[in-house]
Amino acid sequence: MKISVKQCAELLSKHSDIIILTHAHPDGDTLGCGFALFRALKKLGKRAVVLNDDIPEKYEYLYKDLSFDSIESGFVVAVDVATPNLLGELEGKYHINMCIDHHATNTHYADYLLLEETAAACETIYKVIKELGVQIDKDIAGALYTGISTDTGCFRYASTTPQTLRTAAELLELGAPGAFINRLMFETKTKTYARLEKMAIDSMKFYCGERVAIITVTQEMYKLSGSGEQETEPLAPLTRQIEGVEIGISLREKPCGGCKASIRTFESVNAAQLAAAFGGGGHPQAAACRFDCGVKQAAELLVAKCEELLK
């Protein structure tokens, strides 16, 4: 059943024990939602907990001062979770009473669904917390700002609406440390990542009349840089940034042979279609697939398919 912000706040007000679930491989938006809502519920004197998968270290500022209540059962709320299988290890462990989300692809799996197709789910959580009558402090504001900033690429993407910017403005006024958050999310490279990025850029090769760019990350490069697979996320977009490149691919060698390709495209090419040719999938402009062969052979296979798609 779809509900409004007001109905959502009323339902939350009625319950004293609330379990908040975020999606697996959590990002700034799901974590921002989870910890902002948790802090708001605690201010109302409720018992609450946020459950999630491994949180990347850079988000520590969102929760380092918190302690959660031990709750076995309660009213279960999933935040920024489009489908139950995105819950990872939490999938199937709880009956989901409520979902607060912004994905058009939400599968309406919860008893109550508050769905607004905003740039970030944190935009809706902000409204819910205001409706709950909670006074928003700098920690709540910072958590909400984190979700909005990270889900919009710091207000870069087409999903950013005037309302997104106005909400961010209000959150700054409420004490969100915007510059600190953006620096941490977008402007900080570890020395090991900086070394890996340099090697990855050195490895960049162009194909198909320079419309395709591929960077290759080998196990050797992880060793030399001191970096690892978990730091490779920002490499994929680097290829697509070169003028004229329509398909950018980062190929990463796996420790036990085989490799993984992250594909980024602009509107002219469907990344999911390219990935699907090798059993992968994803979004129109960002997709991924795996290969059992080495990086050299994988690059050849990908280039052949790119040639077809660019014809």
Residues in the site for a copy of itself, rule: CB under 8 A?
154-158, 160-163, 165-166, 168-170, 172-173, 178-179, 182-183, 186-191, 194, 197-198, 201-202, 210, 237, 240-244, 266
Question: Taking the complex as a whole, how short is the minimal distance between the CB of residue 163 and a copy of itself, in angstroms?
Answer: 7
Q: Residue 202 or residue 220: which is nearer to a copy of itself going by CB?
A: 202
> Is residue 94 within 8 Å of residue 21, measured between CB atoms?
yes
Return the structure tokens found at 66: 């918190």
In this structure, the number of other CB atoms found within 10 A of the CB of residue 179 comes to 10
* CA pair distance 10, 295, nearest whole angstrom: 54
The packing angle between helices 162-173 and 138-151, to 10°, is 150
Return the structure tokens found at 156: 């870069």
Q: Residue 60 or residue 292: which is nearer to a copy of itself going by CB?
A: 60
Q: Residue 121 or residue 181: which is nearer to a copy of itself going by CB?
A: 181
Q: Residue 238 or residue 277: which is nearer to a copy of itself going by CB?
A: 238
Buried-exposed string 106-116: b where 16+ CB fall within 10 A, e elsewhere:
beeebebbbbe
Strand 17-21 relative to strand 98-101, pairing: unpaired
DSSP-derived secondary structure letter, 72:
S
Torsion over CA of 224, 226, 228 and 230, rounded to 10 degrees? -150
Q: Residue 101 or residue 197: which is nearer to a copy of itself going by CB?
A: 197
Q: Residue 224 or residue 242: which is nearer to a copy of itself going by CB?
A: 242
Nearest to 253 by CA among 214, 282, 308: 214
Return the structure tokens found at 256: 């036990």
* CA pair distance 139, 216, nearest whole angstrom: 40
3-class SS of residue 147 = helix
Q: Residue 108 or residue 266: which is nearer to a copy of itself going by CB?
A: 266
Return the structure tokens found at 159: 């999903």
Backbone angles phi, psi at 112, to 5 degrees: -125, 130
Question: Taking the complex as a whole, how short is the minimal distance between the CB of residue 187 and a copy of itself, in angstroms?
Answer: 5
